[in-house]
Structure 1
Amino acid sequence: TEMRNTTSDFILLGLFNHTTAHQVLFMMLLAIVLTSLFGNALMILLIHRDRWLHTPMYFLLSQLSLMDMMLVSTTVPKMAADYLTGNKAISPAGCGAQIFFLLTLAGGECFLLAAMAYDRCAAVCHPLRYPMLMSWQLCLRMTMSCWLLGAADGLLQAAASLSFPYCGAHELDHFFCEAPVLVRLACADTSVFENAMYICCVLMLLVPLSLILSSYGLILAAVLHMRSTEARKKAFATCSSHVAVVGLFYGAAIFTYMRPKSHRSTNHDKVVSAFYTVFTPLLNPLIYSVRNSEVKGALKRWLGTCVNIKHQQNEAHRSR
């Protein structure tokens, strides 16, 4: 304990202990993470390779998959290494880096989901003007803005969190450095920063969410005016995946960052953080691939190409 008091490193107490049940949970979590990384990497590969998916909608989806892969990689490798080696220390720089990347990606994803909602709104409400309303130039600008807004939030909160003096055992009852958990250990008045962080998170969550809700209000009105049942089905199919992803992501993020202090418990915080940093990135590619016929078609074409190449290689090998 003496060493912990004098060192500047923080101690991450982690998500699991070494009971059999927790070891099984740890193995399950690793399996989920590997599946998530594979699913998102496959989604990026399909969108990159298949020319039918070279549209703004799928470009934005590839960015979502990239953010999800990076989000998982920000927290899980360190948590797994801590659990396996027993070395739970993290330097202030490492802690700041985790806060920066986590908020860059989570904030970027908030705005990216809003950009995706605008894209669906333009496609459903103004199909003839869609190429003009969602040009490639606008799509790239929106994507860059999502990354930059997220990075600005991440940089501000990481710098502010590390500017406080920390004393005592430096123990974080969490499996990664998260700003709301970290500032509770500061031996200084953090109320101004906590209020500013709260306002910042409210804006980062509610501004994109209000844009998403207004886009879906317009989509719903347009769908209800459609005479063709087939057109209605198609519009609902393309939008339902996005609505499911928005619900999962925003539900977890609002629960984590917008609850008053009095309603917080460490175990709840850990479970919800695990949900939005580990489970949501797994569910996103699943939701989009299972509910999307174009993605399924791209997967079939790619697998067909792989089978053909393998067949040609076998033929060439035999003819030798």
Structure 2
Amino acid sequence: MRPLVSLLLRYRVAVTLAVAVTACVLLVPGFASATTAGLALDRAASVGLLAAGLTVLLISGKIDLSGGAVFALAGIVAVQLQPQIGILPGALVATAVGMAAGALNGALVIWARINSLVATLATMLMFRAMAHLITESQPVSGIDIMFALEISRTIGGIFTLRGILFLCLIVVLHIWLTRTVAGRNVFATGSNAAAARASGIREQRVHFGAFVFASGLAGLAGILQSLSVNTGSPTFGADLTILAITATVVGGTLIEGGRGSALGTLGGVAVIAVLTTGMEFSSVPAYVQQIVIGVILLMIVALDRTIGFGPRRHRPGPGAAVGAGAALRKNKEEETQ
């Protein structure tokens, strides 16, 4: 019995997803259909793009609360620039805006030495205010509704453009985190910044890149959302950051840093998408949905803290230990001379 419990707890994300899907199929009429799957995947894509960026950032030991505001701001820029420079150039400029927001977050945290929670809380307010300022708190419309319909078209009745993009990103991110030196450096930085620094890893560069990556994906998600509905709005993405953080943590990423995975985030996003879609099909009020999501988050975090199962914290590789040991030996030699 004990090994079974340990196994269930270790793979709690998969178990939670299986339970959620089973419950929705049994309790929600019409849930088990290709149309519902397509809706859930499209819903998951926006949350998932933010969650993918947050996965890297949280693993490195930092957090970003401004993703939802960047989502709205980049979408507005993409739509507002359409009459002047066209749809695709406007989208490229908006992507650059998202990355610039990440660069600002990174600069505040790394060089101004402001705690990432405080810094991104401040920029969240600033970016949201900018979105209201440039639109006068009104939605703005694009120039081509047919383009919006085209990028919203489903392939095989399930996959939309942003759904495909999200799934491809998860695969690439998984390979990058697990198979490349740069990916392992992110884990090493989040696990033990001092040891990573001693082994020659430029932790500031890792953190800065993670902030730019996270905000860039938030901006891309906002652009795809605004293009798909041919509208930009300062209210878009209001609850998106909370959902993305929840999905990332449910997927096994540790807020303190040093642990996480792209595939785990995929599972966490799927859990959130299945539950919210099922509850909306059942006409469950939004505030009740938030209570359910909050309870699930607390349960997952409580299991992680009290039982300690799940993916282990990634430890710096042999190079980190060797580098740290060499630095200590050098210090001792200098003290004896």
Task: Tell me which interval the TM-score lies in, with the shorter structure as reference length.
Answer: 0.3 to 0.5
Pair member with larger Rg: 1
Higher normalized contact order (CA 8 Å, seq sep 6+, divided by chain length): 2
Instruction: Report which of the two has the higher share of helix.
Output: 1
TM-score by length of 2: 0.34
TM-score by length of 1: 0.35
